[in-house]
Structure 1
Amino acid sequence: MQPRHNSIDFDPDLTARPAIALDLNFRDYSTEIPVHQHRKGQLVLALHGAVTCQVRDGMWMVPPNCGVWIPGDLAHSNHATANAHLAYLFVEPDAVSLPDHCCTLSVSPMLREMIRYLAQQPLDYPDGGHTDRLVRVLLDELVLMRQEDFHLPVSDHPKIRLMAEALSADPADRSTLAQWAMRIAVSERSLARLMVQETGLTFGRWRQQLHLIIALREIAAGTSVQATSEMLGYESPTAFITMFKKALGQTPTRYLQGLEQAGMPDYSRTS
């Protein structure tokens, strides 16, 4: 049997098994995985810490006990927090019916442990054996996981891309839409229209979503709420917590605790 290769440079397309998995502790690897693609679809699961996945038209945040689904043959890059412990699940395109677009999924404790178990098995496990049967159940469970809204739409339009890159690098930048319009040489009205046209969100809502994604990543990495609020340019932790609670219904700490305890499948979809 093929030996186990738990490394970030492993090529998942070397095997045609329905699904295989890797278990990666990023204390042992670079936290930046450059743009790449593979035939198999990929679920990036955060066991601890967090990871941000980027594709051409968006950015997905993966907080603890959630996963981002990336369809096969889609170029993507990953940026993990320094304390991240991740699991990768690679799925053959025709093995199960999964979305043809990126999305963030809650992951149940049972599914999480099945993926971690699979990561320890030989890559060429035999048809009909114990691991093969487990994979069939694993894939059945995977399609039941509910979607979470940790997505930041990012357009290929050069002006929107420029804003996204600048605000990702300096999320404390509080420039208004009018100031951004002046900076990138368009009218405020044109930029407002372009933002909605390219991302489906107003500038204010888009920047808030960026802040939520960064906040979840930082707090999952162990950054304090106060330090996170300062990083995002809020006048006080209270102002930041108010924004977060208004957007997601809970304080940042309670929200992440809920994600760690949740991730249950939506069995109503089987009826």
Structure 2
Amino acid sequence: MFGKSENRDDYQAIGQPIGGMARALADGFYIDTHSHPRGQLIYAYVGAISVSTDYGSWVVPPQRAVWVPCNVRHAMQACGDVEMRTVYIREDAIPAELQTCCVVAVPPLLRELISAVVRMPVEYEQDGRDGLVVQLLLHELRPLSVVPLHLPMPKDNRLSKICARVLDDPADETSVQEWSQFVGASERTIIRLFPEETGLTYSRWKQQARLMAAVRLLAEGCHVTDIALQLGYESPSAFSAMFRRALGMTPTEYFRDAAGD
């Protein structure tokens, strides 16, 4: 895209602490589970990206990015047509705050720094202007606590079966009593295990699953009315109210131009 390699492997053994790469991904494009020795900042300049790891899943629009530490296995999928910007950071240069998978806020300054880094030559001058841009980018990377953008996954096989069904159909209204019969565990066990395994009650986990599905559908260009019906809400206004409570803005505002963050 900018005359640089689009192969992630070409950025792992470079001498510079940071390597920036740009790729255009078509709607639905899937990058299978993989890992690499450098930490990765995954950012959709346009569109949204879903990132899945053993620790949970994230869906982020242009105002946010996902940080994946070194050697953590992850998969990605484009939600809508995506202009992806990736920054690979050498382990010894990673800010201390970024030790686990997390969401990173991308205000206008960081957005422009990411854009500058992906345009730099791979072997940029570390003692020149490019090196100063890299230092500022590393300084600006800060984790953001946005719980609704993260869907933690349980390890318990019984809960995993429930979660898989909900992810396949976020509008599913199966009760805990019905789930208990499906997975062979008591209602009390399911109610107890969900907070232990995910930090969320079952109802809260299901709401976040719906919220993340909504973000994906919005990125794909679906209308709010259609999303509300698809996710089981009684009306578009009910869906919009839930969205605002969770993320502090309406669905339309959430995907406004990233520069308005």
Same fold (TM over 0.5): yes
Pairs within 5 Å for 1:26-105: 26-27=25-26, 31-95=29-93, 96-105=95-104
Shift of residue 30, structure 1, vs aligned partner: 6.6
CA–CA distance in 1 between the matches of 2:46 and 2:55?
Answer: 26
* Identity of matched residues, %: 33
CA–CA distance in 2 between the matches of 1:174 and 1:258?
Answer: 34
Structure 2 residue ranges without an equivalent (≥5)? none
In the alignment, is the contact (CA less than 8 A) between 2:68 and 2:101 conserved in 1?
yes
Q: What is the RMSD computed on CA atoms of the aligned residues? A: 2.0
With 70-79 and 109-118 compared, the bigger mean Cα shift is at 109-118
Shift of residue 123, structure 1, vs aligned partner: 1.2
CA deviation digits over 1:210-266, x for unaligned, max 9? Answer: 11111122112211111111221223222222322333343221233386511xxxx
TM-score, length basis structure 2: 0.91
CA deviation digits over 1:26-52, x for unaligned, max 9? Answer: 13x971011111111111111111111
Shift of residue 11, structure 1, vs aligned partner: 4.0
CA–CA distance in 1 between the matches of 2:208 and 2:34?
Answer: 26
SS state at 2:80 partner = coil
Moved over 4 A (4+): none
Question: Is the aligned partner of 1:6 residue 2:13?
Answer: no
Q: Would the alpha carbon gap of residues 98 and 20 (structure 1) be closer, same or farther in structure 2, given more than 3 Å must change? A: farther
What residue is the counterpart of 2:167 in the other structure?
Answer: 168
CA–CA distance in 2 between the matches of 1:242 and 1:215?
Answer: 13
With 242-251 and 80-89 compared, the bigger mean Cα shift is at 242-251
Q: Would the alpha carbon gap of residues 230 and 59 (structure 1) be closer, same or farther in structure 2, given more than 3 Å must change? A: same
With 159-168 and 253-262 compared, the bigger mean Cα shift is at 253-262
Query: Which residue type is aligned with residue 156 of structure 1?
Result: K
CA–CA distance in 2 between the matches of 1:98 and 1:42?
Answer: 14
SS state at 2:161 partner = helix
Shift of residue 147, structure 1, vs aligned partner: 3.7
CA–CA distance in 1 between the matches of 2:162 and 2:57?
Answer: 14
Shift of residue 74, structure 1, vs aligned partner: 0.7
Question: Is the aligned partner of 1:148 residue 2:155?
Answer: no
Shift of residue 191, structure 1, vs aligned partner: 0.7
TM-score, length basis structure 1: 0.87
Query: Which residue type is aligned with residue 121 of structure 1?
Result: M
Shift of residue 65, structure 1, vs aligned partner: 2.3
In the alignment, is the contact (CA less than 8 A) between 1:45 and 1:67 conserved in 2?
yes
SS state at 2:31 partner = strand
Q: Would the alpha carbon gap of residues 260 and 174 (structure 1) be closer, same or farther in structure 2, given more than 3 Å must change? A: farther
What residue is the counterpart of 1:201 in the other structure?
Answer: 200
In the alignment, is the contact (CA less than 8 A) between 1:50 and 1:61 conserved in 2?
yes
Q: Would the alpha carbon gap of residues 30 and 151 (structure 1) be closer, same or farther in structure 2, given more than 3 Å must change? A: closer
Count of aligned positions: 257
CA–CA distance in 1 between the matches of 2:20 and 2:158?
Answer: 38
SS state at 1:82 partner = strand
Shift of residue 186, structure 1, vs aligned partner: 0.8
CA–CA distance in 1 between the matches of 2:28 and 2:211?
Answer: 24
